[in-house]
């Protein structure tokens, strides 16, 4: 009885006190963290294969092949345009395993924490806006994973350019934990940056931002994306900056095209149905145009077929 009394009926408009919002945020964060932790624990069993997968492109690009540290020391006077991964310290292998596993957990658990983010925002939306939840998760996951994979692919090119600035007579010994930190930051930055068009499309679908206004911001958006690429790219090289700014700019104009198409579609449907797109708390438009009243019909008098001669008016006899 007490348990049922504590359960309150949900507000149809999603309103709740601040304590309920904080409790909802806590529950969503716990579910997201739990999903990441589960994937992280599973990734620990495949740590060696995952680390090799992450390191191999850079080794193919700037690696020293089978050269050892002693070989590099003997030939140090000549210098090498290559890099050699090193692990420093007794605890470094353990921390590297945690970093590799955690990065894998964040990427693989993307569907879970994206859905939890949407579920936290959904109660504040109207009923006709909640239907975009599946679209948000369905498009957000490949965008984030695509950004992470793009960062993974351009990192060898950035490494090759940066290694090329090595002074004559010096060799590059890359600490593996620093490399993994750089890779993890690039994966997160590129993944989140690729979510920009999804955010713009959702703002347009919910009626907050029009496609024409988005198109009018194109100069400021290109400048902002370029500056963001220069500041947020961990490698701080121009290749990483333009590699981030270029795809995000293309995705931005793609989102503008989708928004313009959606605005035209809404305009056509609104012209056909004035009540299209109304939210739950908006009243439909009333047609107050007066209509003419038809003149009353003439009284019909019909004589029954019997001998009484009873007359019937409009289907009723004199008695009724």
In a domain, 107, yes or no: yes
Among the ranges given (131-145, 147-161, 253-267), the one the predictor scored with the smallest mean pLDDT: 131-145
Give the span between the Cα atoms of 30 and 118, in whole angstroms: 15
Q: What is the DSSP pairing of strand 83-86 with strand 172-175?
A: parallel
Give the span between the Cα atoms of 33 and 25, in whole angstroms: 12
- The domain total for the chain is 1
In a domain, 295, yes or no: no
Q: What is the DSSP pairing of strand 311-313 with strand 301-303?
A: antiparallel
How high is the pLDDT of residue 79? 47
- The domain in which residue 115 lies consists of 22-145+166-175
In a domain, 49, yes or no: yes
pTM for the full model?
A: 0.66
45-65 tens-digit pLDDT: 998 888 888 888 888 777 666
Q: Are 63 and 174 in contact (CB under 8 A)?
A: no
How high is the pLDDT of residue 77? 41
Q: Averaged over 178-197, what is the pLDDT? A: 85
How high is the pLDDT of residue 236? 65
Inter-CA distances, 199 with 42, 80, 173, 206, 280, Å: 31, 45, 41, 11, 23
126-135 tens-digit pLDDT: 565 566 666 7
Q: Which of the two residues, 156 and 304, has the higher pLDDT score?
A: 156
Q: Are 225 and 248 in contact (CB under 8 A)?
A: yes
In a domain, 89, yes or no: yes
In a domain, 123, yes or no: yes
In a domain, 76, yes or no: yes
Among the ranges given (44-48, 51-55, 167-171, 242-246), the one the predictor scored with the smallest mean pLDDT: 167-171
How high is the pLDDT of residue 1? 43
Quickly state the pLDDT bin for 268 (edges 50, 70, 90).
confident
How high is the pLDDT of residue 40? 93
How high is the pLDDT of residue 282? 54
How high is the pLDDT of residue 296? 58
The answer to whether the Cα torsion of 294, 298, 299, 302 is positive or negative is: negative
Quickly state the pLDDT bin for 300 (edges 50, 70, 90).
low
54, two tokens: 């992450």
Q: Averaged over 59-87, what is the pLDDT? A: 62
In a domain, 77, yes or no: yes
In a domain, 13, yes or no: no
């Amino acid at each position: 009885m007490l348990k049922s009394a504590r359960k309150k009926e949900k507000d149809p408009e999603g309103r709740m006190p601040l304590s309920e919002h904080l409790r909802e945020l806590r529950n969503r964060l716990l579910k997201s963290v739990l999903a990441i932790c589960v994937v992280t624990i599973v990734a620990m069993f495949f740590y060696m294969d995952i680390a090799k997968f992450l390191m191999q492109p850079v080794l193919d690009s700037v690696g020293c092949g089978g050269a050892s540290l002693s070989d590099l020391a003997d030939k140090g006077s000549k210098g090498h345009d290559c890099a050699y991964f090193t692990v420093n310290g007794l605890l470094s292998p353990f921390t590297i395993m945690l970093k590799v596993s955690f990065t894998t957990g964040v990427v693989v658990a993307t569907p879970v924490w994206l859905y939890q983010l949407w579920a936290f925002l959904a109660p504040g939306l109207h009923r006709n806006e909640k239907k975009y939840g599946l679209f948000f998760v369905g498009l957000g996951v490949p965008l984030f994973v695509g950004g992470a994979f793009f960062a993974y692919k351009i990192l060898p090119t950035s490494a090759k350019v940066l290694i090329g600035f090595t002074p004559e007579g010096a060799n590059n010994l890359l600490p593996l934990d620093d490399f993994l930190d750089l890779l993890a930051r690039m994966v997160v930055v590129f993944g989140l940056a690729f979510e920009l068009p999804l955010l713009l499309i959702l703002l347009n679908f919910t009626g907050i931002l029009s496609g024409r206004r988005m198109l009018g911001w194109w100069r400021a958006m290109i400048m902002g994306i370029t500056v963001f690429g220069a500041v947020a790219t961990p490698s701080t090289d121009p290749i990483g900056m333009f590699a981030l700014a270029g795809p995000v700019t293309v995705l931005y104009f793609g989102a503008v095209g989708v928004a313009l198409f959606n605005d035209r579609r809404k305009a056509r449907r609104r012209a056909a149905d004035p009540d299209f797109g109304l939210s739950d708390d908006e009243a439909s438009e009333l047609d107050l145009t007066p209509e003419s009243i038809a003149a009353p019909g003439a009284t019909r008098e019909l004589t029954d077929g019997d001998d009484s001669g009873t007359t019937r008016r409009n289907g009723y006899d004199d008695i009724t």
